[in-house]
């Protein structure tokens, strides 16, 4: 997996060498799953890493929060070179730079999130080595209430509803069988009556006739 990643990167870098300067050299990534659902009050990591084929020098990066359309800077810094832990300016409460540029990691930590913290976060990078082109990746933080458990109980409710429906159906089938049983008992009585009242030929006709009736009755229900 790791080797495959390296291989892909090598290929993308190769394309850069073959292609023109305008090819994307810097890559910002918020990971394969660019969103997170977290309960209010919890502490979350907003992941971001960068990658550059040609290496970085004084890489400028920041995190921005899209607050109703206006971009608010969460933090920013300049990374002199790879591996150096940069000094990061933080403009928002409860934010900590935890990536420490370790393996190009510029993730941040959000302490004790509130519902206002939910939204889109942009991890932005610009590498002077590649003509100051802008690169970014967006991470979506979804803050949910603890009452999210309601969803679970909803599933339970649905499950029990389905179970109930099945039970009802089984009950209905039992009832149907019982009805059929009663009907057959009645049939037997009818048969007795028929036997006593008329001949054997009539009995057979009458029996098949009432059988068809009893089969048709539940279908009507
Ligand atoms: C999350 O929000 C709910 C409703 O606003 C509140 O009752 C609860 O205390 C909050 N939880 C935390 C851990 O802040
Ligand atoms: C954000 O958007 C909501 C709904 O679109 C609006 O009611 C609210 O006033 C906006 N807040 C700000 C600070 O613009
Ligand atoms: C987060 O909440 C806990 C418990 O309420 C508190 O002790 C801690 O100081 C808070 N952290 C920040 C960074 O606000
Ligand atoms: C980046 O650092 C954070 C905090 O230490 C960690 O949770 C995350 O897994 C790291 N990401 C990568 C890709 O190493
Ligand atoms: C890059 O982003 C900056 C804001 O950080 C903006 O002023 C500039 O116009 C952008 N450049 C390009 C080429 O998009």
CA distance 169 to 105: 57
Window from 85-99, 124-138, 151-165, 198-212 with minimum mean pLDDT: 198-212
Tens digits of residue pLDDT in 79-119: 999 889 999 999 999 999 999 999 999 999 999 999 999 99
Q: What is the 37 CA–ligand 1 centroid distance (Å)? A: 15
To the nearest whole percent, how much of the chain has pLDDT over 70? Answer: 63
**Ligand number, closest to the Cα atom of 144:** 1
Are residues 100 and 85 in contact, defined by beta-carbon separation less than 8 angstroms? yes
- Using most ligand atoms within 8 A of CB, pick from 90, 94, 112, 114 the residue to mutate for ligand 3: 112
Does 116 share its domain with 168? no
Looking from the CA of residue 114, the nearest atom of ligand 1 is 14
Name which residue sits closest to atom 7 of ligand 4, judged by CA.
45
**Ligand number, closest to the Cα atom of 48:** 4
Are residues 137 and 122 in contact, defined by beta-carbon separation less than 8 angstroms? yes
Does 214 share its domain with 109? no
Looking from the CA of residue 40, the nearest atom of ligand 1 is 1
Residue 220 has pLDDT above 50, yes or no: no
Name which residue sits closest to atom 3 of ligand 3, judged by CA.
112
Does a structural domain hold residue 167? yes
Does 174 share its domain with 204? yes
Q: Which residue has the higher pLDDT, 70 or 130?
A: 70
Residue 164 CA, chain-centre distance (Å), reads 28
Does 138 share its domain with 157? no
Does 122 share its domain with 155? no
CA distance 61 to 143: 25
Residue 211 has pLDDT above 60, yes or no: no
Tens digits of residue pLDDT in 14-63: 655 554 444 557 999 999 999 999 999 999 999 999 999 888 999 999 99
């Amino acid at each position: 997996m790791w080797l495959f990643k390296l291989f892909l990167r090598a290929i993308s870098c190769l394309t850069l060498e073959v292609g023109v300067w305008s090819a994307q050299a810097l890559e910002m990534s918020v990971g394969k799953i660019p969103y997170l659902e977290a309960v209010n009050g919890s502490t979350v990591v907003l992941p971001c890493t960068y990658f550059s084929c040609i290496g970085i020098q004084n890489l400028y990066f920041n995190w921005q929060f899209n607050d109703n359309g206006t971009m608010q800077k969460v933090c920013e810094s300049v990374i002199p070179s790879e591996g150096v832990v940069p000094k990061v300016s933080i403009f928002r409460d409860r934010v900590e730079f935890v990536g420490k540029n370790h393996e190009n990691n510029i993730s941040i930590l959000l302490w004790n999130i509130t519902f206002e913290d939910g939204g889109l976060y942009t991890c932005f990078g610009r590498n002077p080595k590649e003509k100051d082109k802008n690169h970014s990746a967006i991470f979506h933080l979804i803050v949910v209430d603890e009452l999210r458990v309601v969803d679970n109980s909803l599933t339970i409710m649905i499950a029990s509803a389905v179970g109930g429906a099945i039970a009802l159906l089984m009950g209905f089938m039992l009832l149907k069988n019982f009805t059929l049983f009663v009907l057959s008992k009645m049939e037997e009585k009818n048969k007795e009556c028929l036997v006593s009242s008329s001949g054997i030929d009539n009995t057979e006709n009458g029996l098949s006739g009432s059988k068809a009736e009893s089969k048709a009755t539940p279908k009507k229900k």
